[in-house]
């Protein structure tokens, strides 16, 4: 097998991806197949951090809407990410992977508090670190949390595993002749309002010069392909 292109990666898994076709809850067949590939990455010597979303249980702005105070709705979303983090951690452990869950909001009975130096030390020892609770602050998405954690742990790349196979000039489900980009700059993503990440997350990755590789999670092996440097999805950089 060829050498990995990246030594330390931050993998962003959306909550919807963990739900499989159902869209809600947890699909352990899907989680199992994703964790199989994460194990392969660890076995290749790659240090892996993971940020999980919570949209399979609760989306603060969408589900709370105008019926709840936004801050409280976002706190509920942070708890949803912790459910997902614990589920992924459990499956990884069943497969023999050393794993730690760290949360931005303290809940010591179920996870470590997020401490940057401890997270890096875990990864240097070959443990997978799963970051829950987003940034720990309302009004920030888990995409922004992924960029923030990637910057803090000095990750080489952010692997954005989504339900689409790259960045397009328009929504390919609505515009059949939309063009898929192999690479694109952060500035173009912002200027064209392309739905890669929200603008806060995109600006943060641009300011910290962290490349973002977006690809489809439909085939979990894409995670390993991305790490090995195969040309998949779209790379956002520059």
- Radius of gyration in angstroms for the set of CA atoms belonging to the chain, rounded to a whole number: 17
What pLDDT score was predicted for residue 64? 77
Confidence of residue 1 (pLDDT cuts 50, 70, 90): low
Q: Which of 71, 76, 54 has its CA nearest to residue 137?
A: 71
**For residue 21, what is the DSSP state?**
G
Domain boundaries, the chain: 8-236
> What's the CA gap between 43 and 5, in Å, rounded?
14
Q: What is the DSSP string of 185-222?
A: -HHHHHHTT-SSS-HHHHHHHHHTT--EEEEESSSTHH
pLDDT tens for residues 120-167?
A: 999 999 999 999 999 999 999 999 999 999 999 999 999 999 888 899
Q: Does the structure show a pLDDT above 70 at 223?
A: yes
**CATH number for region 8-236:** 3.40.1160.10
What pLDDT score was predicted for residue 70? 92
pLDDT tens for residues 193-214?
A: 888 899 999 999 999 999 999 9
pLDDT tens for residues 48-102?
A: 999 999 999 998 777 877 789 999 999 999 999 999 999 999 999 999 999 999 9
pLDDT tens for residues 2-18?
A: 899 999 999 999 998 89
52, 142 Cβ separation under 8 angstroms: yes
103, 65 Cβ separation under 8 angstroms: no
| Token pair recorded at residue 15 | 């909550």
**Residue whose structure tokens are 């997902």:** 84
Q: Does the structure show a pLDDT above 80 at 45?
A: yes
Half-sphere exposure of 81 (CA within 13 A, CB side): 33
Q: Which residues lie below 8 Å from residue 63, measured CB to CB, with a gap of 6+?
A: 73
What pLDDT score was predicted for residue 195? 80
Confidence of residue 28 (pLDDT cuts 50, 70, 90): very high
> What's the CA gap between 83 and 53, in Å, rounded?
10
Stated as kind and residue range, the H or E segment containing 179 is: none
**For residue 20, what is the DSSP state?**
G
């Amino acid at each position: 097998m060829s050498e990995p292109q990246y030594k330390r990666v931050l993998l962003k898994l959306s909550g919807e991806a963990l739900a499989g076709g159902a869209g809600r809850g947890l699909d352990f067949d899907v989680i199992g197949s994703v964790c199989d590939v994460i194990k392969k990455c660890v076995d290749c010597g790659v240090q892996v951090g993971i940020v999980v979303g919570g949209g399979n249980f609760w989306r603060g702005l969408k589900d709370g809407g105008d019926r709840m105070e936004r801050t409280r709705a976002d706190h509920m979303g942070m708890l949803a990410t912790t459910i997902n983090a614990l589920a992924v951690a459990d499956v990884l452990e069943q497969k023999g992977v050393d794993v730690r869950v760290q949360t931005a909001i303290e809940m010591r009975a179920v996870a470590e508090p997020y401490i940057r130096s401890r997270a890096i030390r875990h990864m240097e020892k070959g443990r997978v670190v799963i970051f829950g609770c987003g940034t720990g602050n309302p009004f920030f998405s888990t995409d922004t949390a992924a960029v923030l954690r990637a910057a803090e742990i000095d990750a080489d790349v952010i692997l954005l595993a989504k339900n689409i196979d790259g960045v397009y000039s328009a929504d390919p489900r609505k515009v059949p002749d939309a063009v898929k980009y192999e690479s694109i700059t952060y500035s173009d993503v912002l200027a064209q309002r392309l739905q890669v990440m929200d603008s806060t997350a995109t600006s943060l990755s641009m300011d910290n010069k962290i490349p973002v590789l977006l690809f489809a999670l439909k085939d979990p092996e894409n995670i390993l392909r991305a790490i090995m440097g195969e040309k998949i999805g779209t790379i956002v950089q520059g």
